[in-house]
Amino acid sequence: MPSNIQKTKEILQIAALALAIVIAGTGGSIWLSWYDAQQPPSCNVADLKLYGTLVYYPSENSGAATSAAGDGTLDQTAAEDIRQQIETADADPGIKAILLQIDSPGGDPVAGEDIADALKHATKPTVALVADQGTSAAYWAATGAQTIFASADSELADIGVTQSYLQQTQQNAQNGLQFISLTAGKYKDMGNPDSPITPQEQALFERDLNITFQNFIGQVAANRGLSVASVTAVAAGSSMLGQMALQAGLIDHI
């Protein structure tokens, strides 16, 4: 009889232990489910950065190769890097939208056009967010996005082109220096600061600047759905603050 009672106790103990294990497992699963639900979902927006002067190719000495990664080197951003990031994000099924953060005074017009082109060809929603500054070629880049946000105090637009330089012929003369031009081709050394610019050379510079200027205006008009005349009216090479840019149709939201 005592042996039967002992066996019964052992069975009850085993059953109780099994029940405790089941309860603990169930409770643990519920807790893990709750914990997982509290965690933020992985980000599905590609966050790209256009900071500092805009160039086309990265320069190892300036930090341009890494500035778009947001590592603190803000002196330059290379269009080649941004284009690759846009194309990679667009091909990633886990990415649902592309955000380009901009704080840049501009730079190379070809670089600005290249980024705008990459944004326009992306199949996912694209947004440009301008911080303090998004002017000149940086604004050109922003126009490729479907939507542009900026602060009311952001500096924007600055639609114009410049290639100015310092001419130092008088200083050379004062220092007893004489520039000797050895070139094959009438205009080969035009733009050399040690040589006085001729009226013909200045005309060639201005010809090319005006061609780029008209391309800039035309691209902004096409990208923003504006008339060429309306963009030309604000394309005086000066910047404007957010509210005025909004009224001119150059951005979408403050």
Model pTM?
A: 0.78
In sequence order, what are the beta bridge partners of 104?
134
Q: What is the pLDDT of residue 75?
A: 87
Quick: pLDDT tens for 172-204. 999 999 999 899 998 999 999 999 999 999 999
Q: What is the pLDDT of residue 64?
A: 41
Domain boundaries, the chain: 45-163+195-247
In sequence order, what are the beta bridge partners of 159?
none
Across 112-127, b (16+ Cβ under 10 Å) vs e yields: bbbbbbbbeebebebb
The region that residue 126 occupies, defined by phi over 0 for left and psi between -120 and 50 for alpha, beta otherwise, is beta
Quick: pLDDT tens for 101-113. 999 999 999 999 9
Q: Which of 210, 229, 231, 212 is closest to 220 using CA atoms?
A: 231
DSSP assignment string, 79-111: HHHHHHHHHHHHH-TT--EEEEEEEE--B-HHH
CATH of 45-163+195-247, one of 3.90.550.40, 3.40.50.300, 3.90.226.10, 3.40.50.2000: 3.90.226.10
DSSP state letter for 164 = -
